[in-house]
Amino acid sequence: MTADYRFDPLQFPMPGRTGLFPRRDIDLYAELSGLVGVCVHGFMLADLERKAWDLRKKYWQSGEGAWAVFREAVHQCYPHLPAEEKLEQDGYDFDSLYELAVYRRIKPMLPSSVKLDVHPVVKGCSFQEAAFADFKVSSTQSGKSCFIEVVGLFDRTFTAYCSMQKERKDETLRRLHRYPTHQRPILIFKDRVCAPEQVVAALRQAIEAVAEDGLRTAA
């Protein structure tokens, strides 16, 4: 019988706490995901700190399945971080990870006097009779409401850096301008989603717009 000289992982098992990826990279990914509130995708790393760019270049931009293997390695070390984040939660289908992150962020912030609607209808819109917003917070006492739009394709400069952004810019602007003047939404751009203090400040403004004592009640 011909000898088999191939590496046998059963004969030579991997040493404990090591793998294909440096543990510092796995830990950094887990830290960034905890910061944003979702398992950050490669495109989200551009809106995070400089160290995130290194992860982006090493595992996401390199292609050839490196990102999927890296995410699986993260899941093995941090079981609460799935290898693939699903956009469905609590019966809602979200359009992007940015929208899902905002949903997870606002839920614990709501005082008892404010309710949250996901993908509510907006009436009286320009360009169309009715449309759907991303979120709406409303006072259960006065009925006063405030819409929230997550602009997951652009940062606050609204600059188009890639072909997809160039193609979608006019469509996105029409979406934002369709609101009646008395119902201007709170805007949360993608870079704000990746900055906890800024997304919390924007959501706090939306809640305070419908209930002056909302945050004190929540506290």
pLDDT in tens, 80-119: 999 999 999 999 999 999 999 999 999 999 999 999 999 9
Query: Is residue 160 in a domain?
Result: yes
Domain co-membership, 51 together with 95: no
pTM above 0.75, yes or no: yes
Q: How many domains does the chain have?
A: 2
Domain co-membership, 136 together with 193: yes
Domain co-membership, 115 together with 58: no
Query: Is residue 52 in a domain?
Result: yes
**By the 8 A CB rule, do 120 and 105 touch?**
no
Q: Is a pLDDT exceeding 70 seen at residue 218?
A: no
Query: Is residue 71 in a domain?
Result: yes
In angstroms, the CA 52 to CA 45 distance is: 5
Domain co-membership, 98 together with 183: yes
More confident residue, 150 or 7: 150
- Three-state SS at 16: coil
Query: Is residue 46 in a domain?
Result: yes
Find the mean pLDDT for residues 166-176.
Answer: 90
Domain co-membership, 63 together with 152: no
Query: Is residue 14 in a domain?
Result: no
- Three-state SS at 19: coil
pLDDT of residue 13: 59
Q: Which helix (H) or strand (E) holds 50?
A: helix 50-55
Domain co-membership, 100 together with 195: yes
Domain co-membership, 191 together with 98: yes
Lowest mean pLDDT among 14-18, 46-50, 215-219: 215-219
Query: Is residue 44 in a domain?
Result: yes
Query: Is residue 192 in a domain?
Result: yes
Domain co-membership, 60 together with 155: no
Find the mean pLDDT for residues 34-55.
Answer: 92
Domain co-membership, 73 together with 110: no
Query: Is residue 11 in a domain?
Result: no
pLDDT of residue 15: 54
Domain co-membership, 144 together with 206: yes
Range of the domain at 40: 23-77
pLDDT of residue 117: 97
pLDDT of residue 219: 42
Domain co-membership, 165 together with 126: yes
pLDDT of residue 25: 94
In angstroms, the CA 12 to CA 89 distance is: 42
pLDDT of residue 212: 66
Instruction: For the chain, give the percent of residues with pLDDT over 70.
Output: 89
Q: Is a pLDDT exceeding 80 seen at residue 63?
A: no
**By the 8 A CB rule, do 147 and 133 touch?**
yes
Domain co-membership, 72 together with 93: no
